[in-house]
Chains A and B, each alone.
Chain A
Amino acid sequence: MNATKRKQDGLWNEFAKGLFAQNPIFVIVLGLCPTLAVSVSIENAIGMGAAASFVLLASNIVIAALMALFGKILSPGMLAQVKKIRIPIYIVIIASFVTIVDLLMNGFAPALYAKLGLYVPLIVVNCIILGRAEAFAASNGVVASALDALGMGLGFTLSMLLLSTVREVIGAGKFYGYPVFGPGYSPMLILTLAPGALLTFGLFMGLFRHLKNMRGGNGSL
């Protein structure tokens, strides 16, 4: 096996791990506040997933680039000092990108903004983004960090889709706003309310655990 092939496998793995083996919602269990609040309908889930993925991608790239730059231009002693203020730097960068998403969505996707406007500022405190900045982007290259963000973002979005499909179909009798069952269906309201979020989440988490155990449970896909 040559070195290029191994490197490609490594990069592919940085992307793919977010989908299942290190799924941010069901395996790492990060960013639950927006997940539980927004997964009421499929439309909201897609909007929130896309917005959070964009912020995650942008912040991972910028933070990886900035840390690489600091590594080049600063003396080792100074670099150790700068590491002490890394969290404030991450937060400033993440908050800026969230505000940018907020402004862009308000200006160019008003219908989506009317639904999600309330939740966009919540992305700042979405632990997935800060978590990936600290655990991955700060100590990896720009390309690997971008792939990590794409995988994690996609994993987040797909997990939200799973949760919201169950909650919308059973809890409201609808799929993407269209009624699934006839007019006689009486929706199981609890699933669209907060307890339903926790119930659905818990069952999916159990399912992911079970699937992982069947695969040997060593964390690889």
Chain B
Amino acid sequence: MGDIAKLCLILTVVCVLNGLALGYVYDATRAAIDRSAAGRLASSLALVVPGAKSFSEKKQASLAGGRSLDYYEGFDAEGKAVGYALSAERQGYQSLLRMLVGIDGAGVILGMRVLEQAETPGLGARVDEVETRETLWGRLAALLGAGRAAGGEAPGEPWFQAQYRGLAPSELKLLASAETGGGIHAVTGATVTSRAITDAVRESIELFLAAKKDGGR
């Protein structure tokens, strides 16, 4: 009996010491974690509404059925509203896809970013793929080459997400990657992911425009 009590005491002491250490690290890193989360949001907001200089806090547009849609309002340097950044999310092939889509007052897309996804590498995950013309050999030559700048090209926009810019919600049609014409070309072998993103974006814009009309805002 006495042994059990001693064992409990030892285990408790070990746990309490670990708890104290964790509390200290949590406290020391909290500010940096908040900063990096805010930085991520600010940089994606600036990407989807390129003209905006500042953004409102998160707002909610109430939709039919008690649901709501998160959005941010973007302003230019004079404080005029230039567009909205809407959140959109939908279940993809194997993960929850979270998007941010920027639109102007009429609902035309200014930019679209996939914020979070964990789709199949090499298939669905290619929605984040940036086309680069630079090959490994070119990169190595640039790194080794005397006097040449090793900076490489600026990180480009993922080609799948760039397709959304300039389209109205009614133009968001999913096409096979080989088809020609206006619309969104699906990533080869990842129709489910491509369709989920396109549908979620279209739905968000349509719901937001409807709510805005109802609310008279």
Contacts and interface: CB of A to CB of B under 8 A. Distances in A.
B29 A106 contact: yes
B154 interface: no
Nearest to B129: A172
Contact of B136 (A84, A95, A180, A187): A180
Contacts of A88: 11
A81 B3 contact: yes
A96 B21 contact: yes
Given A104-B25, A178-B136, A81 B32 contact: no
A162 B188 CA distance: 28
Contacts of B39: 110
B189 to A, nearest CB: 8
A92 interface: yes
B33 A103 contact: yes
B7 A81 contact: yes
Contacts of B25: 99-100, 103-104
A171 B6 contact: no
B36 A99 contact: no
Contacts of B3: 78, 81
B123 interface: yes
Contacts of A107: 29-33, 35-36
Interface in A86-139: 88-89, 92-93, 95-96, 99-100, 103-104, 106-108, 110, 113-114, 118
Majority secondary structure of chain A interface residues (helix, strand, loop or mixed): helix
Contacts of A41: 121
Interface string B1-31: 0010011001100110010011001100111
Nearest to B4: A81
Given A99-B22, A110-B39, A179-B136, A89 B11 contact: yes
Nearest to B31: A107
A180 B135 contact: yes
A108 to B, nearest CB: 6
Majority secondary structure of chain B interface residues (helix, strand, loop or mixed): helix
A86 to B, nearest CB: 10
A189 interface: yes
A95 B14 CA distance: 12
Nearest to A191: B122
Contacts of B120: 193
A100 B21 contact: yes
A35 interface: no
Contacts of B137: 180
Interface in A36-95: 40-41, 66, 78, 81-82, 84-85, 88-89, 92-93, 95
B32 to A, nearest CB: 3
Contacts of B122: 171-172, 187, 189, 192-193
A204 to B, nearest CB: 20
A88 B14 CA distance: 10
B136 A92 contact: no
B57 interface: no
A81 B2 CA distance: 11
Interface string A173-204: 01110111110000101001100000000000
A171 to B, nearest CB: 6
B198 to A, nearest CB: 23
Interface of A: 40-41, 66, 78, 81-82, 84-85, 88-89, 92-93, 95-96, 99-100, 103-104, 106-108, 110, 113-114, 118, 171-172, 174-176, 178-182, 187, 189, 192-193
Interface of B: 3, 6-7, 10-11, 14-15, 18, 21-22, 25-26, 29-33, 35-36, 39-40, 118, 120-123, 132, 134-137, 139, 189
Q: Which 5 A-B pairs have the closest CB atoms?
A: A107-B32, A107-B29, A110-B36, A178-B136, A192-B122
16 contacts: A85-B11, A89-B11, A92-B15, A93-B18, A96-B18, A96-B22, A100-B25, A106-B29, A106-B33, A107-B29, A107-B30, A108-B29, A110-B36, A110-B40, A171-B122, A179-B132
